[in-house]
Amino acid sequence: MTRQRSEWPAGCFVGFRRTSNNYTMKKLILLIFLGAAFVAAQTNADSFSFTTGSPDGRMATASRPESAGKFEIESADDFILTNPINVTSATFTGLLPTGFDLSTIGQVQVEIYRVFPKDSDVGRTTGPPTFSTIQVPTRVNSPSDVAFDSRNSLPAGGLSFTTALLNASFTALNSIQPGGIHAQPLQTTGGNGSVTGEEVQFNITFTNPFELPADHYFFVPQVELPGPADNFLWLSAPGPLLFTGDLQAWTRDANLDPDWLRVGTDIVGGGTAAPKFNESFSLAGTVPDSASTALLLGSALGALFYLKRRIRA
């Protein structure tokens, strides 16, 4: 006959209770340790930020994706990463036509280029020291022929954006507008003159972050506007030199592709007195600390193995 628990001699379950309590305590310790390791791994990444500052009103350069009746124009400014970075957000500031309805903005695209000669056909240039082509006087320190990576606001494009009207009327003293980019020997036009419009900041979230190795890059934002004469003009910022290695802004259109021209030196002109420009943008993200994360997770796994052995014992 099976005895009820109350019929067993006193003290028979003392060992059972001790073993059960030990198991529960060890399991709790393990869960706490693993949870702490997971949280530490998630937060053990330094933040990254970069900015060229607010617009200085000296220059505004067109930058737009190709769309119906409009050829592509790209304007570029550089930044340097000394560590691998996951770029999760960005801002850039430019002009839209006065009174433009921000809700009608079309596609927004962000491209990342490396510095020539990477991702480029060096064989089509004259080689050192100028690396000139039939279209441009030099490719030294220009963006590469093709983009390293890109995101856009189309479905599954990896980018979302909002806008903020900073100023209903803002004037840039000079501009490079559609039709204002020409191959040499006609590249130096002085620019297309002053332009006034709405000063608008674009706030970008990369739903698919850029995972960039340490390197020297160019940032290229493009904005599609619906009207046949409507264009986004990226506003310049102070510099260069803003930081060691800072390069001046470059631009090209579909007719000049794959070459680039310097906004100041080549298009505005002026020889050694030619102006140089940065563009107004910022970047933010994280610096993954893979070594520390691996150590934390490795320690957690080691603890798991040890505690399992103790529990079984």
Per-residue pLDDT 10s for the chain (313 aa) are: 444 444 445 544 444 444 455 555 555 555 555 554 444 444 456 899 999 999 999 999 999 999 999 999 999 999 999 999 999 999 999 999 999 999 999 999 999 999 999 999 999 999 999 999 999 999 999 999 999 999 999 999 999 999 999 999 999 999 999 999 999 999 999 999 999 999 999 999 999 999 999 999 999 999 999 999 999 999 999 999 899 999 999 999 999 999 999 999 999 999 999 999 999 999 999 998 754 444 444 555 555 555 555 555 5
> Per the structure block, which two tokens stand in for 215?
């390197």
The DSSP code sequence of 195-257 is: EEEEEEEEEEEEEEEEEE-SEEEEEEEEE--SSTT---EEEEES-S-SSTT----EEEETTTT
Can you give the pLDDT at residue 21? 54
Calpha distance 184→69 (Å, rounded): 25
State the pLDDT at residue 198: 98
SS3 content of the chain, % helix, strand, coil (to 5): 25, 35, 40
**Residue 45, pLDDT score:** 61
**Residue position matching structure tokens 């563009």:** 279
Instruction: Give the Å distances, CA to CA, from 18 to 6, 22, 23, 31, 228.
Output: 19, 6, 9, 20, 81
Query: Coil, strand or helix: which one is 298?
Result: helix
The per-residue pLDDT for range 148-187, each reduced to its tens digit, is: 999 999 999 999 999 999 999 999 999 999 999 999 999 9
Provide the pLDDT for residue 37. 46
Output the pLDDT for position 137: 98
Nearest partner of 173 among 269, 96, 59, 55, judged by Cα: 59
The C-alpha atoms of residue 146 and residue 113 are separated, in whole angstroms, by 7
